[in-house]
Each structure stands twice: as structure tokens, then as C-alpha cells.
Amino acid sequence: MKAKEWLNTMPSQFSPYDVDALSIENYKGIVFSGMGGSGIVGDVLKLLLERRGIGIPVISLHGYQLPPYAKRDWLLVAVSYSGNTEETLSTVQEAIQKGLNIICISSGGKLKEVADKEGFRFISVPSGYAPRYAFGFMLSAVMSLFGFGKSLENIRKNLNENKEEIKETAHSIAQVLQNYIPVVYSTPLTEPIAFRWKTQINENSKTLCYTAVLPELHHNEVVGLDNPIARNLCHFIILYDPEDHPRVIKRVEITVQIFKELGLAPLILQGKGQSLEERLMYLAYLEDWVSFYLADIYGYDPLPVKIIDRIKESLK
């Protein structure tokens, strides 16, 4: 099965690209534009740049329009694996009109055509993959742009060293999730990866999955746990990182205690690795395998996304 082959080789996707790193001081703000598996790249980079202490606004956009304050001296990084994502192409056209600096990343398509025509910087990623299975290529390209090349080497090494353990853990998690709606609770540092969990389960396993993030979920979502009919439909997963704010860690502990009092046993997961980047990609790779094994349990080929294809056809 091609999906399994791609997953087994996923760690090798995390390699530095031979590109000149950007001088961030040249820009007043950065917008990452992308949808689906391409869009999560922007979510991760926004987190990493903010953790690095970047002194300008960073926006991860999943939609058609740029924020009104993104103007000249801003940078748009447009990521579309196919190069044909209409929302991303829309933001590029708007950025051209507004005079933003633009960098395009894709395997080809209309995005490459626009970049070639307008003379924008273009970074090519390998073609022939389903977009969500090319996550490592796209993330590596963007991380290389922003000076995270060394981190990519460490990510690859960490995933290769832990691959068999990850696969074994993922298989066990998939069995636990069978016949439940997965609900992934995250912390601010794991939020982009929780979204990756949701989307991979949606697309690969062909089932519903929902996310919520601490501390916000302590102000609304938790009250829904009072309803036994609703909560018993779900299996809860909590993702966290040791570098999260101490009060967030405390909230994780409180949440676990609430689940125990309700007779529920959430899966509590922390990535392995020396750095935040390594731990996040550990959790992402774990989820790739969880969604693959869950698809197998349900009898689905993880690759087809028939409803998405139907929507795209209806929009033509």
C-alpha cells in the first residue's frame, strides 16, 4: 500500500533545503497561506517563530483573503502542495495587488506558473505524493527559509530512532479509538499538532475528530462533560509539552483528574525529543500512524478523499 510506504519513509523528508535563509528584519509582518496538509505548515512555523522571539506579527491564514493590515513590506509565504489550491492562489493575487513580498512553495501547478510569470522566489518540493503525506517536505522547505535547518537534521534522527516504538504505540492507540469519536485536547505548544491529529484522522481514517485547546477549554468545553451520553461517545486524548506554561501544565493535571472522576481514561501524550521541534514532530508522526491503523481497522484505504474531490468538482 502506497500510504504505508510513504509513512515508513516520512522521517527522510525532514532534511534541510539548500536555500538562502531570510532576513526577517526586512519585513513588517509575515503571512503563511495554505489549506489542509499545506496549511498546517504555517501553523507550525508561526509557533516556532514566536517561540524564537520574533518581533513582528506572524499570521497563519487558512482562507481566501489577506488580513487588511498586511501591506507593503510584509511577506507572504504561499504553500500549496499541488499548486492549485484556490484559496492560496486567491491570497497570492491579492498580495500582488497590494505589493507584498511573495515566496511560493509547491510541487508545480498554477502557483509555480504565477511565480515564474511574476518573478517570485519559488521553492519546489517533490511531486507524486498525496499532500498530507508530503508534510515533511513542505515543512522542511519553510523551516530552511527561516533558519531551522539544524533542527530538521535532529528531527529526522529522532524519528528514525523511535520509529518502531511510534508504530507500536500508534497501533495500540488506534485499537483504543475504535468505535469512538476521538477528541484531542491540546496546549498552546501542541495546538498545531492537535489540528494535524484531527485532519489526519478525518482524511485517513474517514471518521470525525474534534479538538480543543487549554486554557480556553476550561472556560466552556469542560461543561459538556457533564452529559454522559455525549462524553461516552468520545475517547479523549491530551497532548502537552513540558515547556508549556506552568499554569497550563497544572490545568492538564486538573483535566486528567476530572476525567478520572467521571470514570474516563484519557490518553495523555508527550512527544520524545531534546527540543520542542523534535517532540512536536514525534507527536505528528505518531498520529500519521494512528490514522493509518485506524483506517485499517475500519476497512478503509487511507488515500481516497471522495467528498473533498466532490466539493472541488462542484466548485468548478
Residue 193 lies in a domain: yes
Same domain, 176 and 294: yes
Residue 28 lies in a domain: yes
Write down the mean pLDDT value for the chain: 97
Same domain, 142 and 167: no
Same domain, 177 and 83: no
Same domain, 178 and 124: no
Alpha-carbon radius of gyration of the chain: 20
Residue 314 lies in a domain: no
Judged against a pLDDT cut of 70, whether residue 201 lies above it is answered with: yes
Q: What CA–CA distance (Å, rounded) separates 101 from 53?
A: 22
Q: Which of 146, 181, 199 is the last residue of a domain?
A: 146
What does pTM read for this prediction? 0.96
Judged against a pLDDT cut of 80, whether residue 200 lies above it is answered with: yes
Judged against a pLDDT cut of 90, whether residue 1 lies above it is answered with: no
By CB atoms closer than 10 A (0-12, 13-18, 19+), residue 210 is middle
Judged against a pLDDT cut of 70, whether residue 115 lies above it is answered with: yes
Tens digits of residue pLDDT in 55-78: 999 999 999 999 999 999 999 999
Task: Provide the pLDDT confidence category of residue 161 given band limits of 50, 70 and 90.
Answer: very high
Judged against a pLDDT cut of 80, whether residue 134 lies above it is answered with: yes
pLDDT value of position 147 = 94
Same domain, 223 and 119: no
Same domain, 134 and 235: no
Q: How many domains does the chain have?
A: 2
Residue 112 lies in a domain: yes
Mean pLDDT of 114-126: 97
Residue 156 lies in a domain: no
- In the chain the first and final C-alpha atoms are separated, in Å, by 31
Rounded to the nearest angstrom, the gap between the alpha carbon of residue 291 and the centroid of all alpha carbons in its chain is 14
Question: φ, ψ for residue 123 (rounded to 5)?
Answer: -120, 125
Same domain, 63 and 172: no
Same domain, 137 and 203: no
Same domain, 190 and 79: no
Residue 128 lies in a domain: yes
Task: List the catalytic residues.
Answer: 203, 219, 312
Residue 110 lies in a domain: yes
Residue 13 lies in a domain: no
Same domain, 117 and 60: yes
Q: Which of 146, 179, 202 is the last residue of a domain?
A: 146
Which residues, including other chains, have CB under 8 Å from residue 174's CB and lie 6 or more apart?
290, 291, 293, 294, 296, 297
Tell me the percentage of the chain whose pLDDT exceeds 90: 97
Mean pLDDT of 179-203: 99
Tens digits of residue pLDDT in 77-108: 999 999 999 999 999 999 999 999 999 999 99
Same domain, 112 and 175: no
CATH of the domain at 289: 3.40.50.10490
- Reference 70, options 46, 48, 95; nearest CA is 95
Judged against a pLDDT cut of 80, whether residue 39 lies above it is answered with: yes
pLDDT value of position 293 = 98
Cell of 172: 495500540
Q: What CA–CA distance (Å, rounded) separates 203 from 86?
A: 19
Residue carrying C-alpha cell 483506517: 295
Q: Which of 146, 181, 204 is the last residue of a domain?
A: 146
Domain that holds residue 48: 22-146
Same domain, 106 and 175: no
